[in-house]
Amino acid sequence: MSRYTEHAVSSWMQADGPDSDIVISSRIRIARNVSNEPFPMLATNQQSEEVLNRVASVLKDEELKVIGDFDLVPLTGMSELEKRVLVEKHLISPNLANEARNGAVILSGNEAVSIMVNEEDHLRIQVLYPGFQLKEAWDVAGRIDDIFESVVDYAYDEKHGYLTSCPTNVGTGIRASVMMHLPALVMTQQMNRILQAIQQVGLAVRGLYGEGSEVMGNIFQISNQITLGQTEEEIIDNLHGVARQIIEHEKAARQKLLNESRAKLTDRIRRSFGILCYAEIMDSKEAAQRLSDVRLGIDLGLIEGLSPKVMNELLVMTQPGYLQHHYGRPLSPDERDAHRAKLFRERLNPSGR
């Protein structure tokens, strides 16, 4: 068992961040490729192994050690459940877990930095920060990128910028995103209008696990779509400005619910809390919605004695991969629903097991 799959929540998630009642995390991801090597999907086993060795050599760099302690974690030999847990913790992508040849991930001790090797691109440098800290995450990601570029010759074109496997990443190769909990905008039926406005300014909206994932539990991932024709700073500033407006809209919507529908809102939140404490069966979609209600109740002071960090942990612990990993065996969908409910009872209401 990898030590990175022992705990549901990475230690960086235990820290507080600005506007963390609305912004769960800020992420910067940088796509890079090694010059004169085929993209991973076209590489032979020998070529992908050579890329892995070249990338691994950077771990000896003294400047990288200043940033933190890093481990190279090969995915070869790792169980499917362990890889799925890493996906659910946002440390690797489904693509790396399922299809990579000589795939690996370089992880910092607190798991705030994960560098995927031989995914869609040779390198995917990812930095995750709690709360609304896009610019802080970019500072660290940029430093790491500079260190790798000083050792590894990147594929770069003077006209097009950094060359990537997918044309949508060509240019800066940067994807910036914020993970936001927006229940009040959904409840007040403002979300569709806001989503349309977001897309009109060149941003994408996805679910908890990025592209192709369903929005559940009122959690939205908002990121840039354009990587060519803008500088990294322009991309981040644009997303930062839009995210700041969404934060203010969500705060206003929460206050409106408190002012106009406090009893109804409190009833909904406490019903969800009661169901989480006592239910015998719980599917993942209902679990996400109940967790969203309770998290909102904690943030608004309608539920006391619980930390939103517990909600973050339960969000990961009750995902299919982690559930099966936690109980040490594959589980059928019905068994997962029963064990998910059991896990909620154990964590939220020990006397009601």
272-289 pLDDT, tens digit each:
999 999 999 999 999 999
Please check if 243 is assigned to a binding site. Answer: no
Please check if 20 is assigned to a binding site. Answer: no
Q: From 146, 126, 216, 164, select the one nearest 39 (Cα to Cα).
A: 164
Please check if 101 is assigned to a binding site. Answer: no
Helices (H), 204-349: 232-278, 284-299, 308-317, 320-327, 333-348
Q: From 118, 7, 2, 3, select the one nearest 53 (Cα to Cα).
A: 118
Is 70 exceeded by the pLDDT of residue 352?
no
Is 80 exceeded by the pLDDT of residue 349?
no
Instruction: Find the angle CA(36)-CA(39)-CA(41) to the nearest 5 degrees.
Output: 150
- pLDDT at site 155: 95
d(CA 104, CA 296): 37
CA distances from 79 to 83, 97, 119, 190, 328 (A): 6, 10, 18, 43, 12
Name residues whose C-beta falls within 8 Å of residue 201's C-beta, 6 or more positions apart in sequence: 238, 242
- pLDDT at site 23: 96
Q: Find the mean pLDDT for residues 330-340.
A: 95
CA distances from 67 to 33, 35, 111 (A): 22, 25, 12
Please check if 211 is assigned to a binding site. Answer: yes
**Are the beta carbons of 50 and 83 closer than 8 angstroms?**
no
Q: Find the mean pLDDT for residues 53-81.
A: 92
Question: Which domains are assigned to the chain?
Answer: 3-250 (3.30.590.10), 260-352 (no CATH)
What are the contacts of 7-10 at 24+ separation with CB within 8 A?
8/89, 8/313, 8/314, 8/316, 8/317, 8/322, 9/89, 9/309, 9/312, 9/313, 9/316, 10/89, 10/91, 10/110, 10/111, 10/112, 10/128
Please check if 210 is assigned to a binding site. Answer: yes
For the beta carbon of residue 260, count every other beta carbon within 10 angstroms. 10
Question: What would the pLDDT profile of 163-188 be if each residue is shown by its tens digit?
Answer: 999 888 889 999 999 999 999 999 99
Question: What would the pLDDT profile of 200-259 be if each residue is shown by its tens digit?
Answer: 888 989 876 555 556 788 999 999 987 778 889 999 999 999 999 999 999 999 999 999
- pLDDT at site 260: 96
Please check if 156 is assigned to a binding site. Answer: no
Tokens describing residue 328: 């040490």
Please check if 175 is assigned to a binding site. Answer: yes
For the beta carbon of residue 62, count every other beta carbon within 10 angstroms. 7
- pLDDT at site 302: 95
How many residues in the chain? Answer: 353
Lowest mean pLDDT among 210-219, 259-268, 304-313, 337-346: 210-219
- pLDDT at site 40: 93
Q: Find the mean pLDDT for residues 41-46.
A: 94
Give phi and psi for 24, each to the nearest 5: -75, -45
d(CA 138, CA 129): 10
Tokens describing residue 160: 């097009």
- pLDDT at site 129: 95
Please check if 125 is assigned to a binding site. Answer: no
Please check if 223 is assigned to a binding site. Answer: no
Is 90 exceeded by the pLDDT of residue 8?
no
Please check if 25 is assigned to a binding site. Answer: yes
Lowest mean pLDDT among 105-119, 309-323, 327-341: 309-323
d(CA 300, CA 294): 10
pLDDT band at 15 (very low <50, low <70, confident <90, very high): confident
Please check if 29 is assigned to a binding site. Answer: yes
Please check if 207 is assigned to a binding site. Answer: yes
End-to-end Cα spacing for the chain: 28
Q: Find the mean pLDDT for residues 298-309.
A: 91
Is 80 exceeded by the pLDDT of residue 42?
yes
Q: From 217, 233, 235, 212, select the one nearest 225 (Cα to Cα).
A: 235
Tokens describing residue 324: 């099966």
Q: Find the mean pLDDT for residues 76-91.
A: 89
Please check if 284 is assigned to a binding site. Answer: no
Please check if 179 is assigned to a binding site. Answer: yes
- pLDDT at site 59: 93
Is 90 exceeded by the pLDDT of residue 268?
yes
Mean pLDDT score of the chain, rounded to an integer? 91
Please check if 115 is assigned to a binding site. Answer: no
pLDDT band at 312 (very low <50, low <70, confident <90, very high): confident
Residue with tokens 């065996």: 329
- pLDDT at site 99: 77
For the beta carbon of residue 150, count every other beta carbon within 10 angstroms. 11
d(CA 167, CA 96): 19
Is 90 exceeded by the pLDDT of residue 73?
yes
Is 70 exceeded by the pLDDT of residue 77?
yes
Is 80 exceeded by the pLDDT of residue 305?
yes
Q: From 38, 14, 39, 237, select the one nearest 130 (Cα to Cα).
A: 14
Please check if 276 is assigned to a binding site. Answer: no
Is 70 exceeded by the pLDDT of residue 13?
yes
- pLDDT at site 2: 66
pLDDT band at 106 (very low <50, low <70, confident <90, very high): very high
Sign of CA dihedral 200, 204, 208, 212: positive
Q: Find the mean pLDDT for residues 97-126.
A: 93
